[in-house]
Amino acid sequence: NLHPNLAERAAPGALCVLIRSMQQLNPHDLQDLLRRTQADRRPWLLDVREPWEFNICRIEGSQLVPMRQIPAQVQSWSDDIKAEQSVVVICHHGIRSQQVALYLERQGFAQVYNLQGGVDAWARDVDPAMAKY
């Protein structure tokens, strides 16, 4: 089920179609993308976990906007950001981030990716020194 704030904004029946088209990145793909992309062209790493989770561990360069704040925040993001900025949405295991990624697509973001497995997979596959919870 979608988070209540996101579910009320989703069109009936849209979820099944969107999940099939959702762009997924595994941790190694994200690591490669970050390595080969110039700093000013890197994707926005949007972490939608809670502050206490973000304080335990985070992917370097990520920005915290908790999931519950996304509907209010998205209204302040410009159409240019929605059209031009690629966004990688991150959470603990990839579930909340997928819900937010689907929501962002519905709000007009053109380049949205979900980090498969979240920071848990990142810690396991890319950065074993990262704290886990």
Catalytic residue among 91, 102, 115, 123: 91
DSSP letter at 44 equals E
The verdict on whether 57 is a catalytic residue reads: no
**Distance (Å, whole) CA 1 – CA 98:** 11
Q: What SS3 class is residue 24? A: strand
**Distance (Å, whole) CA 6 – CA 58:** 24
The catalytic residues are: 91
